[in-house]
Amino acid sequence: GAVVSQHPSRVICKSGTSVKIECRSLDFQATTMFWYRQFPKQSLMLMATSNEGSKATYEQGVEKDKFLINHASLTLSTLTVTSAHPEDSSFYICSAIPLLAGVQETQYFGPGTRLLVL
Amino acid sequence: DAKTTQPPSMDCAEGRAANLPCNHSTISGNEYVYWYRQIHSQGPQYIIHGLKNNETNEMASLIITEDRKSSTLILPHATLRDTAVYYCIVMEYGNKLVFGAGTILRVKS
């Protein structure tokens, strides 16, 4: 159980275009999902916290107008990188916390999406 | 900022136990210790977590010292597929995971 998927797994786009990445919890519902970014040979950096039905909370230094997050259902969150530039090339990873009350819950991670902006 | 300190890398012989240490001297009473690992070019994988007591599951054991200032993740019989970056994270219930640099574990045949 507790499987999280991401689509696409890999995307190459031209500079200036927008890219949408989907994160789905396949066998559980999640009110909270997280988006991370990881540059080569670095650790994961949290970008934003996505709550179903409300606006995402962005970490300091992350542009909310550039990285649009939508969490429209209990199983789907999307990250759209708008007007992507080469410096946005990175490994984007989402995670989700299962919707279970009263228990210390674990985050489960997706397999990641590798974005290359040319 | 990460609240944990881990050695940057470790080697382990295949079939042997891998013992990965983690210091978290500033941990507070309601913070849990989580362990994740990340195999190259994949998303992190949950391993185990604990609060005070030692924990064991099908993947690993977690030994937490009595003062909770440090812990050790034990992979009882390491295989080549256990080669990964292992992250020790201290997290309060419901809070964000803050990843540090982790420990690169290399399992060698």
Give me the pLDDT at residue A53, please. Answer: 82
Give me the pLDDT at residue A69, please. Answer: 94
What chain B residue is nearest to A97 in terms of C-alpha separation? B94
**pLDDT tens digits, B47-57:** 999 999 999 99
Give me the pLDDT at residue B91, please. Answer: 85
Give me the pLDDT at residue A52, please. Answer: 83
Give me the pLDDT at residue B94, please. Answer: 62
Please say if the pLDDT value at position B72 is more than 70: yes
CA dihedral B86, B87, B93, B94 (to 10 degrees): -100
Give me the pLDDT at residue A104, please. Answer: 58
Q: Which residue has the higher pLDDT, B64 or A106?
A: B64
d(CA B69, CA B77): 26
Give me the pLDDT at residue B96, please. Answer: 80
Interface test with B, best of A104, A108, A113, A116 (most B CBs within 10 A): A104
Polymer length in residues for chain B: 109
Which residues of chain B make contact with A109, given a CB cutoff of 8 A? 36, 43-46
Residues B82, B107 contacting (CB under 8 angstroms): yes
d(CA A94, CA A53): 17
- A81-90, A101-110, B35-44, B97-106: lowest mean pLDDT where? A101-110
Which residues of chain B make contact with A46, given a CB cutoff of 8 A? 96-98
DSSP 8-state symbol, A114: E
The answer to whether B46 contacts A109, with C-beta atoms less than 8 Å apart, is yes
φ, ψ of residue A29 to 5 degrees: the values are: -100, 150
Please give the structure tokens belonging to residue B70: 């440090």
Give me the pLDDT at residue A102, please. Answer: 47
Q: In what order do the strands lie in the sheet with A76-81?
A: A4-7, A19-25, A76-81, A67-73
The answer to whether B97 contacts A104, with C-beta atoms less than 8 Å apart, is no
Q: Which of B42, B49, B101 sits opposite A43 (nearest CB)?
A: B101
Average pLDDT for B29-49:
93
What mean pLDDT, rounded, does chain B reach? 93
**pLDDT tens digits, B80-89:** 999 999 999 9
Average pLDDT for B34-61:
94
The DSSP result for B3-16, as a single string, is: --B--SEEEEETTS
Please say if the pLDDT value at position B21 is more than 50: yes
Please give the structure tokens belonging to residue B100: 């540090």
> What stretches in chain A show pLDDT beneath 70?
1, 100-104
